[in-house]
Amino acid sequence: MDLRQLRYFVAVARERNFTRAAEMLHIAQPPLSRQIQLLEEELGVPLIIRKSRPVRLTEAGRLFYEQSLQVLGRVEQMVEATRRVGLNQNRVL
């Protein structure tokens, strides 16, 4: 699992549509679908109900979505804090 897969999953969950999520991410739809499929295989559970339109999240998918938002938010905080320290805008205590 990597951050790219988390970002892809969050995009699909937000858009509730693989095609729109792929457009938003500026990638083709088949690679997006494949990355979500690989993520589900790694986790061993389905995250998305594909047979419905718009697509829906499973119960596990809803939990994973909330956790993914937290992880990605924390990564963004880490990046910004690191940049500030690197630019001498903050001191590490």
Sequence spans of domains, the chain: 3-86
- CATH code linked to domain 3-86: 1.10.10.10
pTM greater than 0.85 (yes/no): yes
58-63 long-range CB contacts below 8 Å, 24 or more apart?
Answer: 61/13
- Averages of pLDDT over runs of 10 residues in the chain (93 residues) are 97 97 97 97 97 93 98 96 82 57
Q: How far apart are CA 85 and CA 43, in angstroms?
A: 36
